[in-house]
């Protein structure tokens, strides 16, 4: 029962060359982790057949300040606005000294 949707989706995807998947999860209040994992396995095992996956999610209605970003530069700009010292963690040239500060004094 838990994986019924994933099983049906997997069978449909196996019969197709190209799939556009739209999911409306905007009214979702909770979910079954096993079912979510089964869905993820179907998508990952057939990822080349999915031409697009569009999900309307409940995350923004859960708590207003939540944002989902897909561009690293936008993420970094917003992060640095709130935590300017985070640049040391973002810049690979400073990772060693940020993790082992004593190594700088050698």
> What string of DSSP letters covers 48-75?
GGEEEEEEE-SHHHH-TT------HHHH
- Do both 28 and 57 map to the same domain? yes
Separation in Å, CA 100 to CA 71, 83, 92:
30, 20, 13
**How many structural domains comprise the chain?**
2
Q: pLDDT below 50 — which residues of the chain?
A: 61-62
- Do both 10 and 26 map to the same domain? yes
Q: Specify the pLDDT at position 7.
A: 92
- Do both 36 and 74 map to the same domain? no
Q: Specify the pLDDT at position 59.
A: 63
Which domain does 88 fall in, by range?
A: 69-106
Q: Specify the pLDDT at position 17.
A: 92
- Do both 45 and 80 map to the same domain? no
Q: Specify the pLDDT at position 94.
A: 65
């Amino acid at each position: 029962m838990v994986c019924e949707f994933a099983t049906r989706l997997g069978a449909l995807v196996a019969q197709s060359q190209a799939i556009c998947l739209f999911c409306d999860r905007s009214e979702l209040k909770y979910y079954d982790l096993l079912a979510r994992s089964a869905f993820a396995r179907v998508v990952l095992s057939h990822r080349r057949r999915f031409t697009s996956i569009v999900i309307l999610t409940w995350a923004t209605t859960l708590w207003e300040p939540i944002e989902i970003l897909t561009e690293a530069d936008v993420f970094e700009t917003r992060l640095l606005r709130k935590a300017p010292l985070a640049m040391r963690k973002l810049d690979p040239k400073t990772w060693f000294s940020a993790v082992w500060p004593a190594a700088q004094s050698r």
